[in-house]
């Protein structure tokens, strides 16, 4: 059964800017996933940038109380900044070496650390064109 976002919850501009131009190493990514596994949580890794309106809208949806409470219960979230495609690009190879661009990219791991949405990791690249509920439904499809 899907959780429905409360009717009074809707992302409002200005949208958050969660990306901080921080370099993330492959080891740090692996440690993040391991920590999630150790906590019996899933990992949610989001590649984005603050210049990307879809990445910012996605973050705004994730901060809606219903969505945020759901995610906190089941996942640890790591936002990875790609800047202008000049930082952290090599981390795409951890998931799929064919990925070169296009954000936001969302990778969801199960509680054993295995990626479970590789075929649809680009589904939220046009986040602004779909509803907050549709974004939340996408997460619920893979989480919990």
Classify residue 2 as left (phi > 0), alpha (psi -120 to 50) or beta.
beta
More confident residue, 100 or 93: 93
pLDDT of residue 116: 97
> Which residues constitute the domain of residue 137?
26-142
- Rounded distance between C-alpha atoms, residue 67 and residue 131, angstroms: 13
Note whether residue 8 is domain-resident: no
Note whether residue 35 is domain-resident: yes
Q: What proportion of the chain, given as a percentage, has pLDDT over 90? A: 94
b vs e for 113-124, b when ≥16 Cβ sit within 10 Å of the residue's Cβ? bebebeeebebb
Domain count, the chain: 1
What is the pLDDT confidence band of residue 74, given thresholds at 50, 70 and 90? very high
pLDDT of residue 100: 82
* Phi, psi angle pair for 74, to nearest 5°: -115, -20
What is the pLDDT confidence band of residue 88, given thresholds at 50, 70 and 90? very high
pLDDT of residue 144: 85
Instruction: Tell me the β-bridge partners of 75.
Output: 42
- The arithmetic mean of pLDDT across residues 91-114, rounded, is 94
pLDDT of residue 13: 92
Segment 12-62, tens digit of pLDDT: 999 999 999 999 999 999 999 999 999 999 999 999 999 999 999 999 999
pLDDT of residue 97: 84
Note whether residue 18 is domain-resident: no
CATH number of the domain residue 38 falls in: 3.40.30.10
Note whether residue 2 is domain-resident: no
* 1 pLDDT more than 70: no
Give the distance from CA 42 to its chain's centroid. 12
Quickly tell me which residue has 């795409």 as its tokens.
Answer: 92
């Amino acid at each position: 059964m899907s959780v429905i976002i409360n009717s009074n919850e809707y992302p409002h501009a200005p949208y958050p800017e969660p990306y901080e131009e921080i370099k993330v190493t492959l080891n740090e990514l692996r440690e993040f996933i391991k920590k999630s596994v150790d906590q019996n949580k899933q990992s949610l890794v989001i590649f984005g940038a603050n210049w990307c309106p879809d990445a910012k809208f996605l973050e705004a949806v994730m901060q809606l109380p219903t969505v945020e409470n759901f995610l906190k219960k089941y996942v640890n979230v790591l936002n990875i900044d790609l800047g202008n495609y000049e930082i952290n690009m090599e981390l795409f190879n951890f998931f799929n070496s064919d990925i070169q661009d296009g954000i936001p990219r969302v990778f969801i791991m199960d509680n054993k650390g295995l990626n479970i949405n590789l075929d649809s990791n680009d589904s939220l690249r046009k986040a602004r064109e779909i509803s907050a509920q549709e974004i939340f439904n996408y997460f619920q499809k893979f989480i919990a």
